[in-house]
Structure 1
């Protein structure tokens, strides 16, 4: 009778409106339809704790932690699931203080609550606090809590502590052992991992696959292959792990051979092989494999459409997208990205508008596309319409306005951000540097430090660039010290910025020392040193560095030649400069651009070879710019050639009709030649054109 009554009660509950609504709410939440879930929740006349917990989990899963907390605080009653869901949400999104506050306020903690808090601290690297929570756990500590602490130690590289705790456990299980093993393999400690693996009393397939993944992660495919051969009856995960290793290493032949030998292939194996072909741009093989696939999921479609898009086969990608049997936002976003890369904004927007439920990646792709095309108004309009803006969205808009010279708007967006990360600060700091607002860049670095946001190599590179342009040697040295302490000193970007800073501050020996101490020099490093010697008048040393580049088989680029030609110009090395200029096309297949011709005009002009300079400029295949004519005009004054000065000035006035300094220079040349009428005409032009003011950047804060 009792069993029959219970069954009847269960059936009645299942038939109730609240039960059915809760089921639908859970379905919507799990399928990512948050807005629909919220509408259903708000429309429900009756809600129980299960209803609230379902909505709470949905908000947390989508990163809406503040909304989840507001809902949690308004719950008429809470059970352990409610408290644990909220603690887990805060933990997953790095809100450690909020998680601890909830944990402390929880009326009755269960084993899961303690485990969550240990995991939260461990994930944040607060291992001592995690251990304190573990030690305070009342009664017999659960295995899951021990395992969370062991995993925390292992993932943070404290392997001795992990092993010690493992041995202290009353009853360690395979999860305990595998947690230590996972930490070792994921940290690349393969020698120690092999030793630990051999000491394990019991091993399961997870243990073997962790080792295999470790070899693959370390790039030791020979070791991975040898270890794979030791596995008795490898499962599909084992096969896929080795397959993925071959594909990522570009060993597509070995990958295909392994793929063909697999006793069973799941959809993951097919997708890994497909992605391997796409990664190497072997689109024909990828398309053939795609056609052969017995089953395809959203990853399969997205991979092949992305591959076709990257290969520039946009129409084929579009045709395939039209055949896709289900709705896949990722695949549509991949084609949208391809259109944006090809500046086909209209086609991209058409796809975007046709997507009913857009994720953050979809929104950000479209916004970023507008920004890259300089369509900032359209980007801002879309940004304002975006329902759930993430940090990427905000950072994209900051970078867009900064690159467009609109720093006032960039800073305005930056100030409205609730949560800024390192990229946010870097976007605004580099924006100030790009727009010549160097003091503002350094000021915002100080604000960043006060905000306790961690600087990276990009931050230091931008700030060093600001120091270089301000010739602020002492500040640059402070950044050098910070770089050493931060561990970014070996980064090539930061190292290159240091070279430029010392060189622009006139400390070329210190710049050379930084260059010599750099572990990984790239072409930018060599160019920075050559430019440093050039700007400090050391033409012979710049040429010596260039010759060293050649000896080391490092191919110069266009920037290298700007530096070396400038060095020859400043040092008066005319013949050497001409040889370098002529070698650009002959030896390196580099076509000279405006900056190279400007250097040559300056070089020949300084040497008084004005006719040669004019012939060079007039015989150019590209249109001369103001820099070239300006260099010639300056040389004409130096060598008192007023006739050529008039010709150069006419060309310059066409390009820069409102720049007063050009008219002043011509007036002075005419006056020095005793041509007072010409001098007066030039001065009269100044009054006609008005005083020139260079267009200011859109202001700092």
Structure 2
């Protein structure tokens, strides 16, 4: 422009503010040679709209002259930020006659933050309240779920407009009271499209799809919002055929319509159909592409996902994190690290994803390396590295990092305590476990099922089964994991009868056992020598609970029979297995053979173990001992020479990784 006046500057100032470019707006504001009240108000409004209360206040205080709009802006700014005391002070200090808009801003602030008595009191004080004043109170009541009070207030209103009726409809729908919404709708003088769509949304959210469709067909002027609500209603109930038919019938589709349909196809696993629809989409939808990318990653179609990622012109943090998480999920940590290093603005999610990925893969040195590079860490960051140590058997390091977490002033949550209690259990560190129990009680997470379950396991593994039972009894709502932990605790401490008693108690409480439950019960029967009870439980898995036995259940049965010397029956169990025997099954067989000195079956079990665990020669040490005990010295000597040549397998430690 060859020349600019104050009007030009103010227009540009407002444009920058509308697009969120506050820093640019402030620079331009400082350049204006002759700022008028409009300039100041535009800058205050920009700061207010973007939550920059302190900046707005500084500008307001520096104004050479203020008008009614300036005061209204500050009242509104304070009220929206929840600074209701400052907002009321600004309203009270406003010189001259206060405008209705200023009162309405204060009423809206009171109502939004639940101070309805103050909102109504101010409404009564106003010299000339308008319909906006009354609706400001009503919107606070309906959106805060105060429907009983909203109905009373609605009935007292001297006048109502369509906004008033629609607010009541929306309030009933939010509260899930669709019948009351329908009753109110019948009394609306002239419902507009918002009224129709609000009730339609209520029926769809309640799953009353038949009534929704009937209402949809009655809407006189259906807009794209009505079509989209009906489409979402069908998809929410997985009525894919009806949804797709409705989608094809839509006279006008916007980006939401296409993205909703594509996302639904992705959730249903119909990735090719989603891809075909995306190719037909007339809009360039970032959300639709991200949804398909996520679907590909869930199905481990990593190359297809990367193709979409590379084709995106603009990528936000969610998009980057989705792709990085996909690589981690597929075990492609090198590729994940390359992408992580390329990410322009890494957020907390990015760092935590990489830590968890390396920890899960057993690469604790790399996980800790990333953790140490973080400028800021949150509770999830600490939990990722602590749980990684526990998962990899580095329990001392896990507890050490809990101490460091406390020094970093990060608040532990239920996950932190659950991990640390698991570490205490693995270390049989009863004293430390009790300290965590005390911390858990003071933290407020004592009622959390995850932490409670870890506490049960910790006490049980330390041999304190009565304390484990006490924790269980104090839990407000024990879940299946709680019952399983208690049963396993009794079983591992040799209290087979008590474990069975807990199982019966579990049944009496209508808690359905799962596969883990039966591993605990069968283990209890094995340790207590309860053969008949063991067979009864084993048979009831399929008969009463439709659970298919897995290798762990068969291993318990082999151990149960083997301990009693019934090796032939144990071998018959193995031969009749519906699944492939694993090392646990053959290990139980080999152990029983040593106790009862059955050299022939021991030889077979050892050979099977060697096939399953070729690098683990400790099983051959056991076989050598069995052979020597049977007096077959030559075979025993040959076995020891074989072991010496191979070298006894030792599981590599992870301590060096830290």
TM-score, length-scaled by structure 2: 0.83
The answer to whether residue 165 in structure 2 is matched with residue 234 in structure 1 is no
Which residue number corresponds to residue 620 of structure 1?
A: 577
Between the aligned partners of 2:464 and 2:112, the Cα distance in structure 1 is: 44
**Whole-Å Cα distance in 2 between the matches of residues 423 and 145 of structure 1?**
44
1:131 aligns with 2:92: no
SS in 2 for 1:613: helix
Could you tell me which of 278, 297, 300 is aligned with 2:235?
278
2:346 is the alignment partner of 1:389: yes
Partner of 2:627: 670
Offset, 1:139: 2.9
Q: Secondary structure at the match of 1:624?
A: coil
Spell out the pairing of 1:272-671 with structure 2 (5 A cutoff): 272-451=229-408, 453=410, 455-473=412-430, 475-477=432-434, 479-480=436-437, 483=440, 487-659=444-616, 661-671=618-628
Asked if the contact 1:539–1:568 (Cα under 8 Å) also holds between the matched residues in 2, the reply is yes
> Shift of residue 182 of structure 1?
4.5
**Residue-by-residue CA offset, 1:94-140 (whole Å, 9 max, x unaligned):** xxxxx658956986265477457635753xxxx6xx63575478831
> What residue number does 2:78 align with?
118
Query: How many angstroms does 1:10 deviate by?
Result: 7.1
Which of 193, 210, 214 is the matching residue for 1:253? 210
Give 1:592 deviation, angstroms: 1.7
Q: Which residue of 2 aligns with 1:96?
A: none
Give runs of aligned pairs for residues 72-91 of structure 1, distance below 5 A: 85=46, 89=50
Alignment partners' CA distance in 1, 2:634 and 2:405: 58
Inter-partner Cα distance in structure 2 for 1:504 and 1:184: 53
Correspondence 1:97-112 to 2 at 5 A: 100=54, 108=62, 111=71
1:265 equivalent among 216, 222, 231: 222
- Give yes or no for the alignment of 1:693 onto 2:650: yes
2 CA distance for matches of 1:171 and 1:416? 61
* Secondary structure at 1:361 match in 2: helix
Of 91, 94, 113, 1:140 maps to: 94
| Structure 2: runs of 5+ lacking an equivalent | 33-38, 64-69
Where in structure 2 are the equivalents of 1:44-55 lying within 5 Å?
none
Q: 2:140 and 2:169 mapped to 1: Cα distance?
A: 14
Taking the aligned partners of 1:433 and 1:9, their CA distance within structure 2 comes to 70
d(CA) in 1 for partners of 2:630, 2:102: 91
Gapped runs of 5+ residues in structure 1?
1-6, 24-47, 61-67, 92-98
Superposition RMSD in Å:
4.1
Deviations 1:360-402 (A, max 9, x none): 3333332222221111222222222233333333333333223
SS at match of 1:608: coil
Q: Is the CA contact 1:542–1:567 (under 8 Å) kept in the aligned structure 2? A: yes
- Indicate the larger mover: 142-151 or 429-438: 142-151
Distance 1:187 1:136, change over 3 A: closer
Report the secondary structure of 1:233's partner residue. coil
Q: How far has the Cα of 1:633 moved from its partner?
A: 2.2
SS at match of 1:332: helix
Stretch moving more, 269-278 or 169-178: 169-178
Mapped to 2, the partners of 1:144 and 1:433 lie a distance apart of 60
Distance 1:471 1:131, change over 3 A: farther
Task: Tell me the equivalent position of 1:43.
Answer: none
Kindly provide the CA deviation profile for residues 462-498 of structure 1, in whole angstroms up to 9, marking residues without a partner as x.
3443343344445545555555555544444344334
In the alignment, is the contact (CA less than 8 A) between 1:341 and 1:369 conserved in 2? Answer: yes
Aligned residues of 1:309 and 1:334 also touching (Cα < 8 A): yes
Q: Distance in 1 between matches of 2:104 and 2:518?
A: 60
Query: CA separation of 1:635/1:260 partners in 2, compared to 1, >3 Å: closer, same or farther?
Result: same
